[in-house]
Amino acid sequence: MNPLVLRLNAATSPVSPDERKILATVEAEIVEVEQPEACGCLEQVDAVMIVSAYLRTPLIKRMTRCRIISRMGTGTDKIDVAQATAQGIMVANVPDFATGEVADHTLALLLSAARKLKVFERYMRSGHHPFDAVAVRRLSAQTLGVIGFGHIGRAVAERALAFGLRVLVCDPCVTAEQAAAAGVTAVGKDAILAEADYLCLLCPLLPSTRGMLAMPEFRKMKRDAVLINTGRGELVNERELAEALKTGVIAYAGLDVFGEVNVFDLDGFPCDHPLFGLDNVQLTPHVAAVSSESLTEAHVRAAQAVADVFSGRTPPHLLNPTVIKNRHNEHE
């Protein structure tokens, strides 16, 4: 039988011609739906390709034939990887498909905040010069804090250093020596909160990082500090962030990711969250990773991971390589 590939998010992120060409090399049949609940054949699927849908335990338990879940992007917090592993299902991602794009977008939000672009555009559109303009500070006199120093964190730091910013990083996996070699300084969480003029969240969403910034953390930051989140929305308590921005606990935020707003809803999303009513926040709809090149790369590499499995090859970037080891042991 030909492999049956369940392609999720097929409405918000349609199957590309390149995907079809790659999957055709293993004669795969593609089932295209937006959400997994809409698929009536979960028990028959041999592979799943997924962008932004949730694959939780009850759904994965039904996928008794599945061999691989291929994430068309980086984060896998919406996939129950532990359950997939327990069932012997490989989980692969494309961790570096948009490193440059996310780093660029992070710096764009930072620069927009630093140069007060929203404020100055408002003056311009009202026909008044800002003679009483809020102070704009020189970037080279300020400090950037980066929480999470993986591929994207390092790319952000490189860009920030080129602008003359002092860069602090907070990441339990990074030593002081490794940080120094990259031209940055490793510090603890309290230090980065206290010293950063701009604080960027670029760490993965884990039980230990979920809700890592809330009002107690905002109160440790400078009153003129700027929070930039291009990581995961759930890293932040968004209701308390809105309150911190409204009451002047911190000055500004640039957000591309959200925990309480589903920007991928096909019918659109409500704009009644408290963040939408604030002038001192810039919002973009989870587009930091977007470019024509990055999207093509994500589609191609995720499809190739599926084709690899059905061609007898091990796909790169497995999150649970023990599945392969266990299978080898079973055949010995």
232 is catalytic: yes
Q: Identify any residues that bridge with 185 across adjacent strands, giving them in sequence order.
A: 168
CB contact at 8 A, 115 and 108: no
Nearest partner of 115 among 99, 100, 130, judged by Cα: 130
H-helix segments, 197-236: 215-218
Task: Check residue 13 and report its DSSP letter.
Answer: S
Q: Catalytic residue among 62, 151, 286, 317, which?
A: 286
159 is catalytic: no
Cα torsion through 255, 260, 263, 268, rounded to 10: -130
Q: Catalytic residue among 32, 243, 260, 297, which?
A: 260
Nearest partner of 7 among 293, 93, 77, 16, judged by Cα: 16
Surface-to-core class of residue 137, CB atoms within 10 Å of its CB (0-12 exposed, 13-18 middle, 19+ buried): exposed
CA angle centred on 231, ends 70 and 276, rounded to 5°: 120
What's phi and psi for 125, nearest 5 deg?
A: -75, -15
Rounded Cα gap, residues 6 and 49, in angstroms: 6
Rounded Cα gap, residues 97 and 220, in angstroms: 34
What does the block give as tokens for 90? 């490989």
Q: Count of CB atoms within 10 A of residue 167's CB? A: 25
Q: At what angle do helices 117-126 and 99-114 cross, to 10 degrees?
A: 60
Q: Catalytic residue among 67, 166, 232, 299, which?
A: 232
Residue reference for tokens 């408290």: 274
SS3 186: strand
Length of the chain: 332
43 is catalytic: no
What does the block give as tokens for 317? 């970037």
Residues with catalytic roles: 232, 260, 286
